[in-house]
Amino acid sequence: MLWYLLNLGIILVFVILFLISRQTDKRWSRLNDYLGTVKNTANSVRYGNLSTKIDEIDHPTYQTVTDSINRMVETLKDREKMIDEYQTELMRQNKLLESVINSLSDGILIINDKQVILRVTPRVSNWFGTKGQDLIGKNISEFIQISSDVPIEKAKKTEIFIKHTPTNNFVVTSIKLSLEDDKKRFVILIKDITTEKEIETLKEDFVATLTHDLKVPIVAEANIINFLLDGKFGEITEKQELALNNMKTSNEELIELVQIILETYKVKDKGIKLVKENIMLDKFLKDIINETQPIAKNSGIKINYKSKRNINIYADAMQLERVVKNLISNAISHSNTKEKIDITTGEIPGYAVISVIDYGQGIPEKELKLIFNKYYSAAKKFRKIGTGLGLYLSQQIMRAHGGEITVESEENVKTEFCVKIPTN
């Protein structure tokens, strides 16, 4: 009986183990199927298919994992949509920017530090006579010649010659790109200035011709006034002499204005040719002051001259006299306080210095950097006669000598012009 019960117990154990084994196999089978689904879903997401989802499963643990994976897929889908929208907007902005750049009248290209072309706009392609894609990788020197020794990457409004477009005038400006990488790149801006050059030439030719033609009748008028003052047409009264002298002064100012304009265009066309000689500065300035003192006296102003020592300089006497007279004339015109004008000389390393100081209305700070520009005239502000060419021409004369004119001014206090002349 005991043996029977023992055998029956063993049989029951095997039956239970068999049933447990079958149940375990089913669970492992379901787990393997689920893991296979997860794997397939992951692979689909990996290759960009975000429409894949894991079906719901009636198991608490599996369902939690399923929900997490499905939420992750949805999040990825939302982010992909956002990225697509960003990319679309970025492409739209790039096309707009490219359209704006391509529509500019200036040409734009990008080069590296070896002057190899990396990118160009259609306008540059037209000027270079080569398709844009064919320009990539070529050296920019194959298509342009720069008019100076300045490297193209340092050019600032420098004139260039484009071989394929020889009849046009161009200037080039380079801008270094600031990028995070270590590679050097430069944006090259090319501007066609042909029209501006033609207009400037026509304008200058017209003004030069006009001023030259004006000078003839003005000189003739001056001669007639001198004849009248000399009594060659009969005696004149004191009132007539006073009127004629005023006319003579105005006529001389007009001749000087015309002469300044003519000299300015000669400077532009031919430059300033200097005939230098040794000049003792003390006597040179005293002669000029003696000549201009009566003009200053008529305006109620006295010119004071002070020199520490007689400095010897090597300069063009006629041109330097023109500069000093122009500065004295300006000082007289703008010394509306009827005070003195001080003229002094001195030395700094390598230069002799002539200072002309007036105590008039002064020059506003914002205008100081403009007064040597062509055609700029502070005289217009105070309703005085002037072209603005006097200071421009004076500065060009001093630069031809290797010197310069500087200015310091304080409104309603004083203005000081310093002429610097090399001493060697």
- Residues in the chain, pLDDT under 50: 2-4, 6-7, 9-10, 13-15, 17-21, 23-25, 379-387
**Domain CATH number, residue 324:** 3.30.565.10
Residue the block writes with tokens 């430069």: 186
Show the domain range for 337.
277-422
- Domain annotation covers residue 255: yes
Residues 294, 361 within the same domain: yes
Residues 170, 212 within the same domain: no
Cα distances (angstroms) measured from residue 370 to each of 129, 356, 407: 41, 19, 11
Identify the three-state secondary structure at position 273: coil
Residues 408, 305 within the same domain: yes
CA distance 388 to 367: 13
Of the residues 14, 47, 82, which one is the last residue of a structural domain? 82
- Going 158 to 164 to 167 to 168, the CA torsion angle's sign is negative
Give residue 417's Cα distance to chain centre. 28
Q: Residue 230: how many CB atoms within 10 A of its CB?
A: 9
- Domain annotation covers residue 399: yes
31-60 burial, b at 16+ Cβ within 10 Å, e below that, comes to: eeebeebeeebeeebeeeebeeebeeeeee
- Domain annotation covers residue 147: yes
- Name residues whose C-beta falls within 8 Å of residue 373's C-beta, 6 or more positions apart in sequence: 388, 392
DSSP string of 182-234, one letter each residue: S--EEEEEEEE-HHHHHHHHHHHHHHHHHHHHHHHHHHHHHHHHHHHHTTBTB
CA distance 190 to 108: 6
- Domain annotation covers residue 310: yes
Residues 281, 410 within the same domain: yes
Return the pLDDT at 381.
Answer: 46
CA distance 57 to 9: 39
Q: Do the beta carbons of residue 66 and residue 52 sit within 8 Å?
A: no
Return the pLDDT at 387.
Answer: 43
Return the pLDDT at 29.
Answer: 58
- Specify the length of the chain in residues: 424
Q: Residue 331: how many CB atoms within 10 A of its CB?
A: 25
Residues 286, 413 within the same domain: yes
- Domain annotation covers residue 90: no
Return the pLDDT at 356.
Answer: 93
Residues 172, 210 within the same domain: no
Q: Pairing mode, if any, of strands 170-176 and 158-162?
A: antiparallel
Cα distances (angstroms) measured from residue 411 to each of 3, 6, 116, 414: 132, 127, 53, 7
- Domain annotation covers residue 87: no
Residues 261, 371 within the same domain: no
Residues 221, 153 within the same domain: no
DSSP string of 125-187, one letter each residue: HHHHTS-HHHHTTSBGGGTEEESSSS-GGG-SSEEEEETT-TTS-EEEEEEE---SSS--EEE
Q: Which residue in 153, 154, 155 sits closest to 185, CA to CA?
A: 153
CA distance 369 to 379: 16
Whether the model clears a pTM of 0.75, i.e. scores above it, the answer is no
**Domain CATH number, residue 127:** 3.30.450.20
Cα distances (angstroms) measured from residue 368 to each of 60, 289, 412: 85, 26, 14
Residues 109, 235 within the same domain: no
Residues 310, 399 within the same domain: yes
- Domain annotation covers residue 175: yes
Residues 215, 335 within the same domain: no
Give residue 6's Cα distance to chain centre. 108
Look up residue 378 and give its DSSP letter.
Answer: G
Return the pLDDT at 36.
Answer: 65
Of the residues 160, 192, 224, which one is the last residue of a structural domain? 192
Return the pLDDT at 18.
Answer: 44
Q: Do the beta carbons of residue 285 and residue 305 sit within 8 Å?
A: yes
Of the residues 192, 209, 235, which one is the last residue of a structural domain? 192
Cα distances (angstroms) measured from residue 144 to each of 115, 118, 128, 196, 406: 12, 16, 8, 20, 38
Look up residue 349 and give its DSSP letter.
Answer: T
Q: Do the beta carbons of residue 386 and residue 261 sit within 8 Å?
A: no
Return the pLDDT at 26.
Answer: 53
DSSP string of 74-128, one letter each residue: HHHHHHHHHHHHHHHHHHHHHHHHHHHHHHSSSEEEEEETT-BEEEE-HHHHHHH
- Domain annotation covers residue 8: yes
Return the pLDDT at 283.
Answer: 92
Phi, psi for residue 300 in degrees, rounded to 5? 75, 25
Name the domain count of the chain: 4
Residues 240, 347 within the same domain: no
Which residue pairs from 348-351 have beta carbons closer than 8 angstroms and sit at least 24 positions apart in sequence? 348/420, 350/422, 350/423, 350/424, 351/403, 351/420, 351/421, 351/422, 351/423
